Chains A and B, each alone.
Chain A
């Protein structure tokens, strides 16, 4: 059973870069057939799709409000993928989830529990 776990700093200063890692267990990222995604949830609000990456490094961002500040990368040797969001502001304060999506469908399963990142000086 595949499980995902996010990790990274819980506090980031404004204008700095937010960096998170998602560790995949119970299965290999390199197997193929899945997109590895990031989704965030602002406090008390709904969910926002951020982007995803394939095991070969191909990325798909397509979120105009984030695209210019966003980098998603993958490390198959560690079975991890990562998120970097630069020039953060208080508006980037959210719980960040990683999730898996099949290449033949449009649903997310499973998800990581999420990690709260607060942007504050």
Chain B
């Protein structure tokens, strides 16, 4: 099972919006609405930011939003803040041998 494809890095200035893509296949992202997104600051535990494509857990800022089109899911961070600087990973349920696959990870830099 190959990892989902994410851009290695995305950057933006404070206040701007950025979008991170997560490209899978018709065996995972394309057929299941079980895409989730995780934020990981250096040395810390990953934190759930979005589940089931576009749902935000309680306590997560509404500046974070998720969507999906075809085999590609996206995470948008609006009103970028310094605290958003972290690594972000997507994940999807998949019908392949291994039921969960993660993305390659994207480093977000706030300029």
Residues of A within 8 A of B (CB): 4, 39, 45-49, 60, 62-64, 97, 99, 105-114
Contact = CB atoms under 8 A, between A and B. Distances in A.
B100 A46 contact: no
A47 B45 contact: no
Contact of A49 (B32, B36, B44, B98): B98
B97 interface: yes
A107 B50 CA distance: 9
Given A46-B103, A109-B57, A64 B98 contact: yes
B45 A114 contact: yes
Interface string B42-86: 011111100110000100000000000000000000000000000
Contact of A108 (B32, B44, B91, B104): B91
A107 B45 contact: no
B100 A49 contact: yes
B71 to A, nearest CB: 17
A5 B91 CA distance: 22
Contact of B48 (A62, A64, A107, A113): A107
Contact of A97 (B36, B45, B48, B105): B45
Contact of A110 (B48, B52, B99, B101): B48
Contacts of A110: 45, 47-48
Nearest to A47: B102
B31 interface: no
A73 to B, nearest CB: 20
A105 B102 contact: no
A44 B76 CA distance: 24
B110 interface: no
B3 A46 contact: yes
Contacts of B93: 106
Contact of B98 (A46, A62, A106): A62
B2 to A, nearest CB: 11
Nearest to A98: B45
B97 A106 contact: no
